[in-house]
Amino acid sequence: MNEARYYLLIEKYNNKLIDRDTFETEIKNMVDYLDTPLKEFYSLFCYLQNNLYVPKDKRKYLIENVEKIIKNDFFNEKQKNIIKCATMNAYFSNYDYELADRYARSLEDCNDSNIMLELANYYTRTRRYNISKKIYDKLLKNPTDDIVSNYKTYQMIVKGERKPYLPNAKENQIKFVSFMKTLNIDVKLRKHTTQPDKIDIKDYPNPVEILETGFKDFVAFDIETTGLDASKDAIIEIGAIKVVDGKIVNSKNFIFQEFVHPYKKKISKKIEDLTGITNEMVFEARDIWDVFPDFASFVGDNILLGYNCMAFDSKFLKRAGRLSNLIITNSYFDVMHYVIRLKSKLNYENRKLNTLSKQLEITNENAHRALSDAITTAKVYLKLLELEKEVCYNH
């Protein structure tokens, strides 16, 4: 086999100079004539240059061929260990924890830093922090950015600042708990509640917007979500403040703030960076069908005041109502539409809440968090009422 061409193809693929279909076709053509287990080894090894995972659709092939490779004297110890480590990760990703552990134990004497880091992560995920610590002690003698980053995550988990690993699906959680019991480690599961019958979308009323201003009794609210699509993404936080006679009272009885366990979604790195909300922070939160009725009770008959709420928040609340089997008919007031109507008077740079609030000399203490954005929205609305009144009076 032309190894120089083989590694050139890998380099091109890793640098996104060729697509995966082209890459796989070229690799297959190069290794097809080889005898077993060379063919299997090179078919798998080409994916393991930048990390120690094979793609999901290659896991079965890896698992079926791993023993052929590691029992063959043709391969050196490093090559065998790389394949073992990839197999450990494949079994772990398939929730086959006992088999993943078998390959992890076979690698404990390995001195390759990449494999050691994978082992440290594996033992952290399986909550054997003493083993992780011993591995990190060795790795930190020659630290890389990856080692330092992973060690920081390990420390956060040990200190309780981040939740430890637990699969999302309940059936996989049960597998994990059973495996951890064999290690004499007790794992507590998140409490699941029964979802009520969902209201069909055609039977749920659409949000109603009011345009009249001047009211001073309302509930200003905001939500944080896993994304922008209300039909697929999920609410992860609801924040609201009750305003009475134009007065914002920052006290317990006038505030609603709660995380929500995302419905069939996970929080992406992009959303985590934007909001500061992590999957660990919402893992033990209540489901939307438990939170939404309490939010509806807090709102009562008040107007729901939000920012860009007709295009965004109201659609998520409609879905929350459907999932909770609870219809709310409160009217919405969209402060952004009010801003648009006052454009000639405000002369704003753009309509983003944070930009506009700064222009109005309103401080948003914690932007992109639901309660802080809700309070800021209330302050912007009340400020706009004053400005409109001043303009009308001067004319």
Residue with tokens 């999302």: 168
- CA–CA separation, 224 vs 13, rounded Å? 37
- CA–CA separation, 316 vs 64, rounded Å? 45
Give strand ranges (E) for the chain. 208-209, 218-225, 235-244, 247-248, 255-259, 304-306, 331-334
DSSP string across 345-393: HH--S---HHHHHHHTT---TTTTSHHHHHHHHHHHHHHHHHHHHHHHH
**129-139 and 145-158 helices, crossing angle to 10°:** 150
Residue type present at position 243: V
- CA–CA separation, 203 vs 129, rounded Å? 51
Question: What pLDDT is recorded for position 395?
Answer: 46
Question: What pLDDT is recorded for position 392?
Answer: 55
The values of phi and psi at residue 239, to 5°, are -130, 140
Classify the C-alpha dihedral 84-86-89-90 as positive or negative. Answer: negative
Question: What pLDDT is recorded for position 391?
Answer: 58
DSSP string across 199-260: PPGGGSPPPEE--------EEEEEEEESSS-TTT--EEEEEEEEEETTEE--SGGGEEEEE-
Q: Could you give the domains of the chain?
A: 34-158 (1.25.40), 201-394 (3.30.420.10)
Pairing verdict, β 331-334 and 304-306: parallel
Name every residue whose Cβ is closer than 8 Å to that of residue 385 and which is 6 or more positions away in sequence: 213, 214, 216, 246
No. of H helices and E strands in the chain?
A: 18, 7
**pLDDT tens track of the chain, all 395 residues?**
789 999 999 999 999 999 999 999 999 999 999 999 999 999 999 999 878 999 999 999 999 999 999 999 999 999 999 999 999 999 999 999 999 999 999 999 999 999 999 999 999 999 999 999 999 999 999 999 999 999 999 999 998 878 899 887 788 999 999 999 999 999 988 777 889 999 999 999 999 999 999 999 999 999 999 999 999 999 999 999 999 999 998 788 899 999 999 998 989 989 999 999 988 889 889 999 999 999 999 999 999 999 999 999 999 999 999 999 999 999 999 999 999 998 888 887 788 999 999 999 999 989 999 999 999 999 999 999 998 877 554 54
CA atoms within 13 A on the CB side of 378: 28
Cα distances from 346 to residues 109, 215, 342, 343, in angstroms, run 68, 20, 6, 5
Cα distances from 344 to residues 132, 338, 360, in angstroms, run 61, 12, 15
Question: What pLDDT is recorded for position 250?
Answer: 78
**Helix (H), strand (E) at residue 119:** helix 113-125
Cis preceding-peptide flag for 37 (omega within 30 of 0)? yes
Greatest alpha-carbon span in the chain: 93
